[in-house]
Amino acid sequence: MSREIALRDALREGMSEEMRRDETVFLMGEEVAEYNGAYKVSKGMLDEFGPRRVIDTPISELGFAGIGVGAAMNGLRPIVEFMTWNFAVLAFDQIVNNAAKTLSQSASQFQCPIVFRGPSGAAGQLAQQHSQTFESWMANVPGLKVISCIDPYDAKGLLKSAIRDDDPVCIMESELLYGHKGIVPEEEYLVPIGVAAVRRRGSDVTIVSFNKQVLTCLNAADELEKEGISAEVIDLRTIRPLDLDTIVESVKKTNRLIVVDESWPFAGVSAEVTFQVQKHAFDYLDAPIARVNSADTSLPYAAPFVEAYLPNPEKIIKAAKEISYINS
C-alpha cells in the first residue's frame, strides 16, 4: 500500500526503519534530537530511540564527523547529519582522509560503514557560503559513494541501502524540497545504489540531471514537447557509481545530449558525463553535447542575480533547440 508523503518524512522513515532493524545504527548532528532536526527530518526520533541513538552534537563538524568515523570502524553504523554540506567543508579531513581511505589504508582489515547526509545546492537568497553544490567534490574521492536525489521514494530506498552499505556514503538532499511530495510504499523496499531512473521517455534529445534540477528538466521537456521536440529525462540519482549504461542507451536512441548540473561548469558532474558519453557513444552523436550549469562565479545574493545564476527551463530549451537543428 502506498501514500503520498514529503521528502523529509521519507528520509525519517528510512532512518527509523533501519534503526529498528539494526541496533548499531544511530543518528548524530546539530539539532537532530531536542529540536527535531533543523529541517524537521528527525522529528520524533528522539522520543522513540532515546538520547543514546539520536545525539545532539556541538557546532563542530570536524569533531562529530570524526566520532562517527571512529564509531564506524568499531562496528557501529552512524548517520551523520550536516545542517548543510557547506558546513561539512570543516569535516573534509575526516570524510576524505579517513572515511574514504579506511578500507585501503587498513588493507581491508577495517571498513567504514557511515552515512554523511544533509542539504546541498542553492536554497534561495542564502548567498555564497551557504549555496554551493558538493556532488562533484565528493564524487572526486575514491572510496566514497555519492547519492543525490529529491524524489521521496528514491530518497527513502537509497538511504536505507546506504545505511546497509559497508562503504562511506554521502547523501545530498535539497533544503528547498524537503516538503516535496511523492508516492512511497508502506512496505519494506530498497533502491539500489548506482542505478539511474528514466523520468520521461523521449526520442529527440536526452537530458541528464540530478537532484532538484530534474524538476527543471521535466518542466523544460513539457515546453519542448509543445514545439515538437521529444526529450528523454534521466535522473542520475547516484553520482558515484555512475550509471553510464542508462545514459549511453538513451543517447544511442536520441543522438543528442544535454547535461544539466547546478554546480559550476569546470570539472563538475556535467564535465564527467560529457567525457564518458563522448568516449562510449561518440559515433551515435549527431551534435555536440550541450551543458547547462550555474554561472562560473560565486552565487550573488540579489534575487534577480540568483535567477540568472542557476539553470532554468529557458536555458535548457535554448540548448535543446541549438543542438536539434544540427544534422537534422
pLDDT of residue 253: 97
- Give the burial string for 146-184 (b: 16+ CB within 10 Å, else e): bbbbbbbbbbbbbbbbbbbbebbbbbbbbbebbebebeb
Active-site position among 30, 61, 135, 262:
61
pTM for the structure as a whole: 0.95
Which segments of the chain have a pLDDT < 50?
A: none
pLDDT of residue 215: 97
Active-site position among 130, 175, 232, 272:
130
Residue extent(s) of CATH 3.40.50.920 domains in the chain: 197-324
Long-range contacts of 282-288 (CB under 8 A, 24+ apart): 284/251, 284/252, 284/255, 285/251, 285/255, 285/256, 285/257, 286/255, 286/256, 286/326, 286/327, 286/328, 287/255, 287/256, 287/323, 287/324, 287/326, 287/327, 288/323, 288/326
pLDDT of residue 178: 96
Instruction: For 197-324, give the CATH class.
Output: alpha beta
Residue extent(s) of CATH 3.40.50.970 domains in the chain: 2-185
The CATH code of the domain at 2-185 is 3.40.50.970
Check if 61 is active-site.
yes
Check if 31 is active-site.
no
d(CA 99, CA 66): 9
d(CA 196, CA 190): 14
Helix (H, G, I), strand (E, B) or coil at 69: helix
- Helices 313-324 and 213-226: crossing angle in degrees, nearest 10, is 50
pLDDT of residue 326: 66
